[in-house]
Structure 1
């Protein structure tokens, strides 16, 4: 079959399928065009993968654990179990349920049967009226009240930007321990080129975001794709060859639906993330202050551990704090949470560390 005919055939089911993603689709298609410019065969495979992803069956929505506390729009969801409370702080970017992705792949539900009581912060979905709520306010007005509602100091675990946030919270409230998982801190170590690209993206998007009072998820997704455009395309090429509705295909769809979902950020949170974290690197330069207190990792009064991926393109290992207890994982940024090696590399060590940290106080 000629390449042009392959492309036409692959696109026809895409046009009639629900628009699940990738978001923003025009940027994805431009990346696809540039990444496959020299290979019509690769372009055809990627388009076939895109069509298959769009048309794939989705499972019925699962019931989420009921919240046991709320603060503003944020909630604390209790996954049950007995033992010390372990509060997971997800990133503000993408939905929090990467930690509870499916019945087969749920760090939270697994931990509930391991002598730990896992709880998940659900940040909710902000509206334009919350435009002035920056990351500091998310910590002071949403996260800390949720922690206080427990009546005892928990262990904190933060994933991605949630780990950065958890470090700040642990500096402001007594906790039993802090686990940072693929969490950036030294933002200058993204490198000059990457940070310049991110700054350019923000400068272009900022006027519209300021008018909206929100930073749409598509703006953030564009930044992620800039970090690794080749992989953004090749994973769809790979998906085209998977058995439809097989285990690997179902896992891919669940993960991509998560990656293409998520609430917007408030304008102030997006502005702080781009300008004060990524560009100015206030955490890495010891210039992050919340409520008159400087956030310094070296002053923590609790056990702390850092799980870092050696193959992370979203949060490179170089951006980590470098805590004394630093554990390097082979899997990537998302694979360390849901991949085939996740239980051995992260889940079990995190469980053991949590139980040990809870016994020290």
Structure 2
């Protein structure tokens, strides 16, 4: 099967497809059988049936591009902050993999932030401004202190918001804070990606998802290709195949970052480590998660290839898992090791006076 035959069928990713095919060629150079298997898996993924889009949950607040979606339930209102990278639906996956829908039946009222889709006119909106102009107004709109939970870069963002707005508790999931602890090799690789893309992103006013995706692939290129080899052997009607398709669609989707958010993430976070060095200022204050007056907990994965455990804040209550960056949220063991402990922690938070 020719590599070029996939160009026309690229609507379901991977993005950018030509770069993925180059990676596939390199990883399977010594094994024609592996290359054929990976290409067959890629073709099966691109042509797989997709479920109908879900109806969005009700919007209860807006702030600029950002919206807050209510997942129902009774009990402690908990705002979940996703990363600016990839869509927020990792927290609401299909096939019994929805953390938020499960929590809504556990005495918790989950609310999900959707950052929306920026345009070039939003180019000057940094990560800091996402917090000040969008997240903080959303939190204040609820009318009572909420618990705050953040996943990945959303956790970094949530930690900053928790210092600006009184919250009942802060839970971080695979959230980076001490960016210097990504390690020299990873940081050099990340910087190289930004240096190559900076000029184009500046001209666009946006950082396309393709720039970030290419960086994720480089973290573990062998695994990136092997998962398509494995998928090609699955029964398309199996639960495993269906879950793979929705998860891979999520990984290949996502709005671009604003240029200022991308610049701040690459230059101020990864290169300068302003959060970890105590030099990141949000809403007029230096952010120090260790000084927050509310209860805090963080869930970190010791096998996370994207956000290493060493980059976590270092809360006294730190739960160490071995499920991977995405697996800890949607994997087969996620309910046991993340969902249930998180629900128990949230429902045990003290009631505000």
- Tell me the alpha carbon deviations over residues 21-49 of structure 1, each in whole angstroms, 9 at most, x when there is no partner: 00011111111111111111111111011
Query: How far apart are residue 18 of structure 1 and its match?
Result: 5.8
Count how many residue pairs are aligned between Structure 1 and Structure 2: 353
Matched, 1:354 2:346: yes
Partner of 2:147: 155
- Listed as ranges, the gaps of 5+ residues in structure 2 are none
Partner of 1:39: 31
Query: How far apart are residue 11 of structure 1 and its match?
Result: 7.5
- Please say if residues 100 and 109 of structure 1, whose CA atoms lie closer than 8 Å, have aligned partners that are also in contact: yes
Query: How far apart are residue 298 of structure 1 and its match?
Result: 1.9
Query: How far apart are residue 322 of structure 1 and its match?
Result: 1.3
Query: How far apart are residue 17 of structure 1 and its match?
Result: 4.1
Q: Among 102, 120, 138, which residue is 1:146 paired with? A: 138
- Please say if residues 86 and 254 of structure 2, whose CA atoms lie closer than 8 Å, have aligned partners that are also in contact: yes
- Please say if residues 35 and 230 of structure 1, whose CA atoms lie closer than 8 Å, have aligned partners that are also in contact: yes
SS for the counterpart of 1:86 is strand
- Please say if residues 217 and 265 of structure 1, whose CA atoms lie closer than 8 Å, have aligned partners that are also in contact: yes
Distance (whole Å) between structure 2 residues aligned to residue 358 and residue 262 of structure 1: 36
Distance (whole Å) between structure 2 residues aligned to residue 103 and residue 34 of structure 1: 34
- Tell me the alpha carbon deviations over residues 197-224 of structure 1, each in whole angstroms, 9 at most, x when there is no partner: 1111111111111111110000111111
Partner of 2:124: 132
Q: TM-score, normalised by structure 2?
A: 0.97
- Please say if residues 24 and 35 of structure 2, whose CA atoms lie closer than 8 Å, have aligned partners that are also in contact: yes
Partner of 2:92: 100
SS for the counterpart of 1:19 is helix
Matched, 1:219 2:211: yes
Go from structure 1 to structure 2 and tell me whether the alpha carbon gap of 1:136 and 1:115 turns closer, same or farther (over 3 Å shift). Answer: same
Partner of 1:193: 185
Q: Among 11, 15, 21, which residue is 2:13 paired with? A: 21
Matched, 1:261 2:253: yes
Matched, 1:55 2:33: no
- Please say if residues 311 and 332 of structure 1, whose CA atoms lie closer than 8 Å, have aligned partners that are also in contact: yes
Distance (whole Å) between structure 2 residues aligned to residue 226 and residue 330 of structure 1: 21
Partner of 1:4: none
- Please say if residues 309 and 330 of structure 1, whose CA atoms lie closer than 8 Å, have aligned partners that are also in contact: yes
Partner of 2:194: 202
Partner of 1:171: 163
- Please say if residues 282 and 288 of structure 1, whose CA atoms lie closer than 8 Å, have aligned partners that are also in contact: yes
- Please say if residues 177 and 303 of structure 1, whose CA atoms lie closer than 8 Å, have aligned partners that are also in contact: yes
- Listed as ranges, the gaps of 5+ residues in structure 1 are 1-6
